[in-house]
């Protein structure tokens, strides 16, 4: 499992891109997608909604279980990935590309994020 070097990660298995003009992209990691199993439903935060770092902001349902989605940052949601709502399997097939979940305008810098190497150590995966 390869974790892209340019992303930051959380202990709850979300990834976060660097902000461009104050907006960062959020998704779940390949490790999390594999652990969930086949994702069949995605409830994402809505545009305009305020999310809070570490708080629940949606859920992903798989053939195995339902998992809460936690926001790795605080801010205002500016886009939700409609492709994932329409085709939740993208979370499994392309977690770092087309399977991203939402974009958020940051209200502050994330606090507890990990580098790709630190996340790989946490999950004991190859980087």
pLDDT in tens, 53-65: 999 999 999 998 8
- Would you call 8 exposed, middle or buried from its count of C-beta atoms within 10 A (0-12, 13-18, 19+)? buried
Task: Judge contact between 56 and 70, C-beta under 8 A.
Answer: yes
- HSE at residue 34, side-chain half, CA atoms within 13 A, is 8
Entry field: residues in the chain = 127
pLDDT of residue 64: 86
DSSP at 122: H
Q: Which of 11-15, 88-92, 107-111 has the weakest average pLDDT?
A: 107-111
In this prediction, residue 127 carries a pLDDT of 52
pTM for the complete prediction?
A: 0.92
E-state strands within the chain: 8-9, 14-16, 23-28, 39-43, 50-51, 56-62, 66-70, 75-80, 102-106
pLDDT of 94 over the 80 cut: yes
Q: Is 13 exposed, middle or buried (0-12, 13-18, 19+ CB in 10 A)?
A: buried
pLDDT at 124: 84
Continuous segment of H or E residues that includes residue 62: strand 56-62
Question: If you average pLDDT over residues 44-72, what whole number do you get?
Answer: 95
Residue 125 confidence (pLDDT) above 70? no
């Amino acid at each position: 499992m390869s974790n892209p070097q340019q992303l930051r990660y959380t202990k709850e298995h979300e990834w976060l891109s660097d902000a461009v003009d104050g907006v960062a992209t959020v998704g779940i990691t390949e490790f999390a997608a594999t652990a969930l199993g086949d994702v069949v439903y995605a409830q994402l935060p809505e545009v305009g909604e305020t999310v809070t770092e570490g708080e629940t902001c949606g859920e992903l349902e798989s053939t195995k279980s339902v998992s809460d989605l936690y926001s790795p940052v605080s801010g205002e949601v500016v886009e939700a990935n409609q492709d994932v709502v329409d085709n939740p399997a993208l979370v499994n097939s392309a977690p770092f590309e087309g399977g991203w979940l939402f974009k958020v305008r940051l209200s502050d810098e994330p606090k507890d994020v990990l580098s790709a190497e630190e996340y790989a150590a946490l999950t004991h995966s190859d980087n």
